[in-house]
Chains A and B, each alone.
Chain A
Amino acid sequence: MTLLILLLPLVAAIAVLLIGNKMASRVALLFTVVEFGLTIYAYTIFKQKGPDAFVFFQDWISSPKISINLGMDGLSLVMIGLTNFLLPLIVVSGFNREFSNAKTYFALILLMQFALIGVFMAYDGLLYYIFWELALLPIYFIALGWGGKNRVPVTLKFFIYTLAGSLFMLFGFIMLYYYNPNASFNITDLYNNPICSCNQGWLFWMFFLAFAIKIPIVPFHTWQADTYSESPTQGTMLLSGIMLKMGTYSLIRWLLPILPAGIAEWGPLAITLCVIGIVYASIIAIMQNDIKRLFAYSSVAHVGLIAAGIFALNIEGLQGSVLQMIAHGVNVVGLFFCADIIINRTQTANISNLGGIRNVAPRFNTLFMIVVIASVALPLTNGFIGEFLLVYGIFKYNTWLALFAGLTIILGAVYMLRMFQNTMLGNTNENTQHFADLNWSETLVLGIIAFTIVVMGVYPKPIFELVQPSLDIILNKALAK
């Protein structure tokens, strides 16, 4: 089952490559829907038998020992669920758009899915690292091959920046291996044999750099806005919806439990960076006129809050961060899809050139509205519970930090509503008067996203139940000095 979920996207990628350009998007959709079905089936098995049903172990390299150690606990399952839920939507969002060489495009998207699932499943350090790096390749080629005018320098910066972080992580993993008395990359060995706290401080930075660049946490965020605005929409969705979550997921999975003393030493600095990032990114977002860049900076603010909640080291913060990872993943894909619709129809990304779309596209207006209020965290949407828990978690850690972190909700409302007002409300102008309302595939994607937003906002309990046991273990390790 585990292996099937992991390998199906890889098979799908090859199938799409072979099937040709015309049918590529449809075949990709078929595979991603089947994959999502499998994930739901895995969820029902998980409910009955727990995580033991998904363990897969196979020796791979004998020295230094690396094994193919896969599994799904609640946390992994939630992240895989998010990936497999978003992928069909991302594929559908590419319908009715022209891509040169569509088969390669969709094959790369599916390859990306394979790598992302691998990251969330791998319980062996080096295997995890290989998937982590593998995820970089398809997204790089997607952005390089189908991106905007300025793509070459932007993607180069993105690639080198993130690879730099990863290589430090590789170094960190090799050091962990040799410091570990069992000499192993296996996650349970790493959890159960904490290394000398004298070495944890600098090892913390090796890992934190990799994650902070990926998430991104200010001041490591400079690659992000450019890459988001230059990538094709599906690439941006993959990056913001799922790939960022690799970073926050890895903080929880690999950093907290393995280097508790490192966290104790540097955690306060990290959380301060996160909170600075929240305020800083929110303020920049307020100044943005380009709709994609605005969403990019709002994303920096949101994930900054998620990371801050993780470093708060309490159960509320962790629960909030997991829930918000899911919520943000769903919302940001919705936001970038709306941005794509607007840019595609009006040929402008500048919000001051837009306005009055509500008058000509009521259906789009309603759905866009739901996504926007979810990202400003209004009650009854999925954003609310996550952000509330996160701010509460940070509050338990430090009141002042919570005060600044809480600003994100206010500032978020400022830039989001300003954007909404400028694009949707007011009078139509020459850019927007011929704005066609949503077609069926767009309605389907946004409809599903809006529906999920409300359902998650009203009834988030299944997610909490799923991740609670994993988070308890991780928190225990993280607090043990």
Chain B
Amino acid sequence: MTTLIYTTCLGLFCMLAEVLNLRKLLVPALIIGLSIIFVVNMQQWGITTPASIGSVSVSHMIKMDNFAIAFSGLAIIISLLIFVLSANYYKDEQNQLSDYLSIMVFVLCGALVMFSYNNMAMLFLGIEILSISLYIMAGSRRFDTRSNESGIKYFLMGAFTSGFLLFGIALIYGASGTFELEGISKYITAGEIAPMFYLGISMLMFAMLFKVSAVPFHFWSPDVYEGAPALITAFMSTLVKVAAFAALYRLFSHCLGGTMYYIEPMLIIVTGATIMVGNVTALSQKNVKRILAYSGIAHAGYMLLGVLSSQTNAASSVFFYATTYAFATIGLFAIAIMTFKSNHNENVEAFNGLAKKNPFAAALVSIFMLSLAGIPPFAGFLGKYYIFSEAIRNGYVTLTLFAVINSIIAVYYYLKVIIAMYSQTANDKTLVIHPTYMVVAIICALATIGLTIVPDMLMQILR
């Protein structure tokens, strides 16, 4: 609970900083603040006292179990990396800096609620806090039509799904008479399930699948990713995706596990379709952000495979996968933002000849791409391996084989960027990579390699 309170305070501080004329201190203060919050968050590890604010118990609303703490830790680190990038990214928009950063901190707040909710109302609140902040951020380039389009599109689709989410929760409440996860879980095990309840979880599932951009609810994500400012795209494709997955996983592991027999067929089809559509559509894309959007859809499919396996505590597999995916994506964006900027172009051609201009950056991009493609010795491989072996353990052999075949397809579009870097001739535009970006990319690369060497560090904590 303290994690959430501190983070909210940090967000409020960002808003006040503008008034108090502390603009220069803003980013360092954020970084220090988040580091402290990270430590505070980790200190709650293993402590099972119910969540409370002062003397008021809120354990019906929020439950800080190890699952929540682990994902909160990951989310805070992702945000830290993004905030490090933001200092330079927004250097031309100083007068809006505090607005942007405070909204981004509120996205983190929403995510923290989504990791730790113990009540359907909190799930809804978390998703809304996160989404509304993101609607603003996606459209934050006011004078750029594509950014506007992105914001409006995201808002309309998102608002529509929020309706589904609420309606679903209401129906579930109508059937079971409670918002609490445990209560609903008891209602399911009691055995007398009203038809209304099934309708409720179906609508809930639609809404959640929209948030993780699973097929057939994925159409928003490439457009939104393409139009939004690149840093926000990085934020969306990492933190937001991880948050949505953690929320979905928590829903199954804490509450809806008993209705797996009902959801399973739907989820299997959605998983297969998500993996396939994501990978196949990415093949023909030229814009790197769109490629990453579709690859993100495909990765959502692999993580759904982990959610399917939730009967046997696949939390650590999903957590590991999410971590590797987040690090590779952020690192990739750190280099890509600079490349886009110097070329005024967001297509694959922007990477042409990067190996000659800056061999080190090209090597880093290769590491991230290969990690996303799941090729050893990078962490993405172990992530895939854990997910696959967990799925096989749960008996989804055919689906796993299907996923394996699809990861072969995926290699093609990841290699497209590598080929552009290593075998195309460079243009004459100079590429300057700001040191903060390089630092973030190097941290991500070290994490990507390091997680292969000591994967147990992450894999053991959620057992």
| Contact segment of A167-175, A258-266, A296-304, A362-370 | A167-175
| Contact segment of B23-31, B92-100, B195-203, B385-393 | B385-393
- What distance in Å separates the Cβ of B446 from its nearest Cβ neighbour in chain A? 15
With A62-B456, A152-B423 known, 19 other A-B pairs at CB within 8 A are A61-B455, A61-B456, A61-B459, A104-B359, A133-B377, A141-B366, A145-B355, A145-B422, A156-B415, A159-B411, A159-B415, A160-B412, A163-B408, A164-B408, A167-B407, A171-B388, A171-B400, A175-B392, A178-B392
Of B370, B375, B388, B459, the residue contacting A174 (CB under 8 A) is B388
| Beta-carbon contacts under 8 Å, B373-417 to A | 375-377, 381-382, 385-386, 388-389, 392-393, 397, 400-401, 404-405, 407-408, 411-412, 415
- CA–CA, A168 and B401, complex, Å: 8
Please state if B359 and A133 are interface contacts (CB–CB under 8 Å). no
List the B residue with the shortest CB-CB distance to A141.
Answer: B422
Please state if A167 and B412 are interface contacts (CB–CB under 8 Å). no
Decide: A62 near B459, CB < 8 A? Known: A144-B419, A156-B412, A164-B408: yes
Q: By the criterion of a CB under 8 Å from any partner CB, how many residues of chain B are at the interface?
A: 34
Please state if B392 and A134 are interface contacts (CB–CB under 8 Å). no
Q: Is A34 an interface residue (CB 8 A)?
A: no
Give per-residue flags for A149-193: 1 if the beta carbon is below 8 A from chain B beta carbons, else 0: 001100010011001100110110011011000000000000000
Q: Is B460 an interface residue (CB 8 A)?
A: yes
Q: Is A6 an interface residue (CB 8 A)?
A: no
- CA–CA, A274 and B392, complex, Å: 33
Binding site for A on B (CB under 8 A): 355, 359, 366, 370, 375-377, 381-382, 385-386, 388-389, 392-393, 397, 400-401, 404-405, 407-408, 411-412, 415, 418-419, 422-423, 455-456, 459-460, 463
- CA–CA, A171 and B389, complex, Å: 9
The residues of B that contact A104 with a CB separation of less than 8 Å are 359
- CA–CA, A427 and B118, complex, Å: 89
The residues of B that contact A151 with a CB separation of less than 8 Å are 423
List the B residue with the shortest CB-CB distance to A183.
Answer: B393
- What distance in Å separates the Cβ of A173 from its nearest Cβ neighbour in chain B? 9
CB-defined A-B contacts under 8 Å, sample of 20? A61-B459, A62-B459, A62-B460, A101-B359, A136-B375, A141-B422, A144-B418, A152-B419, A152-B423, A156-B412, A159-B415, A160-B412, A163-B408, A167-B405, A167-B407, A171-B400, A171-B401, A174-B385, A174-B392, A178-B392
The residues of A that contact B376 with a CB separation of less than 8 Å are 129-130, 133-134
Cβ-closest 3 pairs across A and B:
A130-B376, A133-B376, A164-B408
The residues of A that contact B359 with a CB separation of less than 8 Å are 101, 104
The residues of B that contact A134 with a CB separation of less than 8 Å are 376-377
- CA–CA, A73 and B206, complex, Å: 56
- What distance in Å separates the Cβ of B109 from its nearest Cβ neighbour in chain A? 34
Of A64, A141, A163, A170, the residue contacting B411 (CB under 8 A) is A163
Of B355, B404, B418, B459, the residue contacting A167 (CB under 8 A) is B404
Of A61, A145, A159, A167, the residue contacting B423 (CB under 8 A) is A145
- CA–CA, A61 and B400, complex, Å: 22
Majority secondary structure, B binding face: helix
Q: Is A13 an interface residue (CB 8 A)?
A: no
Q: Is A409 an interface residue (CB 8 A)?
A: no
Please state if A174 and B423 are interface contacts (CB–CB under 8 Å). no
- CA–CA, A171 and B375, complex, Å: 14
Decide: A174 near B419, CB < 8 A? Known: A62-B456, A104-B359, A167-B407: no
Decide: A64 near B404, CB < 8 A? Known: A133-B376, A134-B377: no
- CA–CA, A175 and B401, complex, Å: 11
Q: Is A439 an interface residue (CB 8 A)?
A: no
- CA–CA, A455 and B119, complex, Å: 78
Please state if A63 and B459 are interface contacts (CB–CB under 8 Å). yes
- CA–CA, A136 and B374, complex, Å: 13
- What distance in Å separates the Cβ of B452 from its nearest Cβ neighbour in chain A? 8
List the B residue with the shortest CB-CB distance to A132.
Answer: B376
Please state if B423 and A144 are interface contacts (CB–CB under 8 Å). yes
The residues of A that contact B401 with a CB separation of less than 8 Å are 171
- CA–CA, A136 and B370, complex, Å: 12
Decide: A133 near B381, CB < 8 A? Known: A156-B419, A159-B411: yes
The residues of B that contact A144 with a CB separation of less than 8 Å are 418-419, 422-423
| Beta-carbon contacts under 8 Å, A44-95 to B | 60-64
- What distance in Å separates the Cβ of A232 from its nearest Cβ neighbour in chain B? 13
Q: Is A373 an interface residue (CB 8 A)?
A: no
- CA–CA, A178 and B407, complex, Å: 22
- CA–CA, A178 and B355, complex, Å: 43
Please state if B412 and A168 are interface contacts (CB–CB under 8 Å). no
Q: Is A137 an interface residue (CB 8 A)?
A: yes
Looking at B375, B388, B423, which has the most chain A CB atoms within 10 Å of its CB?
A: B375
The residues of B that contact A178 with a CB separation of less than 8 Å are 389, 392-393
- CA–CA, A175 and B396, complex, Å: 11
Of A61, A141, A163, A168, the residue contacting B375 (CB under 8 A) is A163
The residues of B that contact A318 with a CB separation of less than 8 Å are none
- What distance in Å separates the Cβ of B352 from its nearest Cβ neighbour in chain A? 12
Q: Is A294 an interface residue (CB 8 A)?
A: no
- What distance in Å separates the Cβ of A181 from its nearest Cβ neighbour in chain B? 15
- What distance in Å separates the Cβ of A339 from its nearest Cβ neighbour in chain B? 23
